[in-house]
Amino acid sequence: MFLSVDVGNTQTTFGLIDEAGSVACHWRTKTDKLDTADELAVRLTGLLAGQGFSMDSVDAVAVASVVPALQRAWHVCLMRLGKDPLMVGAQGPCPIEVALAYPSQVGADRIANAVEAKERYGAPAIVVDFGTATNIDVVAPDGSFVGGVIAPGVMLGAQALFDRASKLSSTPIAMPPRVVGRDSEQALQSGIVIGAAAMAEGLVARIKAELGVGECPVVATGGLARTVSEATDCFTAVDPDLTLRGIHRIWLAQV
């Protein structure tokens, strides 16, 4: 089995990938920038054991991290567990051209998204990743990764509102029955969920126009992808495991 580790600013996602390239098992935990290598090792081995696996089940590992403070900790953790991980970035062989002025500044998760979108859905393609930030990653018609959009994430905006309006803080993030909320909870859900969908629709339309393409695959991924997808028909696919498989595909290009 192959282990993909996607270290985000808010959550860290793990996926065990089988020989067919499918995610057989995955976990999502809170990212703590103060974690040590020992703490990461305890957490990882515990997650594996909970599903009947161990590090002996893992043949290779790759880590895509957007948290610089955890980059070394993850490398040390995995080396202590007997695995020499690939730390994903724009450097080294990559199955996509990163056609940006400063490739080293691009988040590893965004590169993984573009790689997997191109492979699975073709080019051009657009990925909307609902994470701490809402990232929109663009694969051009020629198959290169040409950048995209970084906007405040759904939960980041919601939390800012919750912090300043305590009566709203218990509202679940879910698709409301209508755009015009009949109470405060529905109104907030409309603003958060339908608002995120409307932003995605508008940006995707502008990106298509800028690329000069009529239709192309638009893939939603990230923790809130399924919820936001209920509010729009602009997505051709919802693919929660896109980033994990992309990390694996980048590793395959370097072995």
Query: Could you list the active site residues?
Result: 109
Tell whether 41 is in a known binding site. Answer: no
Provide the token pair at 48. 């594996």
Tell whether 45 is in a known binding site. Answer: no
**Amino acid making up residue 247:** I
Tell whether 243 is in a known binding site. Answer: no
Tell whether 104 is in a known binding site. Answer: no
Tell whether 110 is in a known binding site. Answer: yes
Tell whether 43 is in a known binding site. Answer: no
Provide the token pair at 251. 């590793």
Tell whether 7 is in a known binding site. Answer: yes
Instruction: Decide: residue 120, CB within 10 A, 0-12 exposed, 13-18 middle, 19+ buried.
Output: middle
Tell whether 236 is in a known binding site. Answer: no
Q: Say which residues have a Cβ less than 8 Å from residue 26's Cβ, sequence separation at least 6.
A: 13, 14, 15, 16, 241, 244
Tell whether 139 is in a known binding site. Answer: no
Binding site for substrate: what residues are annotated? 107-110, 184
Known binding-site positions: 6-13, 107-110, 129, 132, 184
> Residues comprising the binding site for ATP?
6-13, 132
Residue ranges for the known binding site for K(+) are: 129
